[in-house]
Amino acid sequence: GQSLEQPSEVTAVEGAIVQINCTYQTSGFYGLSWYQQHDGGAPTFLSYNALDGLEETGRFSSFLSRSDSYGYLLLQELQMKDSASYFCAVSGSARQLTFGSGTQLTVLP
Amino acid sequence: NAGVTQTPKFRVLKTGQSMTLLCAQDMNHEYMYWYRQDPGMGLRLIHYSVGEGTTAKGEVPDGYNVSRLKKQNFLLGLESAAPSQTSVYFCASNLGDSGARAGELFFGEGSRLTVL
């Protein structure tokens, strides 16, 4: 089976940097994705790492270490609109994703 | 470009009733998925399809059936609804390539189902 662990809640202030960690146990690992979801709306794709290292997309970066079964999402210059749930997810052979339980990020003014 | 469209968006059923959720995508994606999301939890995969005419079971397939008769459509059926199937259902699609965006799923807005 597959399992992922991420913190349930994170709080930070506007303008700060926050890191959301994700550890996983899986068979047949193809990649680690990150998604953002506002108030039960449609999840939206943030990033995908198939290889070790850091991927940067604007204020968001994602890191993967396959040997440690570990990844993180880094959010810089936090804005109020970044308050949302963030999910890590591992990919299977058919791109099907197994999601973690999500991290609720609260950005304070 | 509508992306992924789900219908209906809301539905209330009585225990034992049947219904079908429709997912349509206009991006010519090969892979399609049905997930459910319960309060405070991540999304759990119900069934998926890797192409027209194919379906496969996900993590929580019991009580659901699916069909992919056309590439652009993926139907989720509940034959005899139970209160435990009260949830938000999300459909998603993926291009099916192996590039940098292989892990990118495009989601619909969700279908909120209540079973009384």
Contact criterion met (CB below 8 Å) for A71 and A60: no
Q: Which region among A18-22, A96-100, B31-35 has the lowest average model confidence (pLDDT)?
A: A96-100
Is the pLDDT at A63 greater than 70? The verdict is yes
pLDDT of residue B56: 95
Which residue in the block uniquely carries the two structure tokens 């319960």? B38
Residue from B52, B18, B55, B49 nearest B33 by CA: B49
- Are A48 and B110 a contacting pair at CB < 8 A? no
Rounded CA-CA distance B50/A19 in Å is 34
Residue B101 host element (H or E): none
For chain B, what percent of residues have pLDDT higher than 90? 87
- Per DSSP, what are the bridge partners of residue A37? A85
Q: What is residue B9's DSSP assignment? A: S
pLDDT in tens, B81-97: 999 999 999 999 998 77
The pair of structure tokens assigned to A2 is 């597959």
A34-43: buried (b, 16+ CB within 10 Å) or exposed (e) per residue? bbbbeeeebb
pLDDT tier for residue A49 given thresholds of 50, 70 and 90: very high
- Rounded to whole angstroms, how far apart are CA atoms B52 and B63? 22
Quickly state the pLDDT bin for B1 (edges 50, 70, 90): low
Q: Which residue in this structure is represented by tokens 């192996």?
A: B98
**What distance separates the 2 farthest-apart alpha carbons in chain B?**
44
Query: How far away is chain B from the Cα of A92, in angstroms, using its nearest Cα?
Result: 9
Q: How many residues appear in chain A?
A: 109
The closest CB to that of A45, out of B33, B37, B105, belongs to B105
> With 70 as the cut, is the pLDDT of residue B39 above it?
yes
pLDDT tens digit sequence for B56-65: 999 999 999 9
Q: Which residue has the tokens 């506007």?
A: A14
Query: Which of A42, A48, A96 shows the shortest C-beta gap to B33?
Result: A96
Nearest to A5 by CA among A90, A95, A91: A90
Could you report the per-residue pLDDT of A10-43, keeping only the tens digit for each?
A: 999 999 999 999 999 988 888 999 999 998 799 9
Mutation to test the A interface, candidates B43, B60, B87, most A Cβ within 10 Å: B43
- Name beta bridge partners: B77: B20, B65
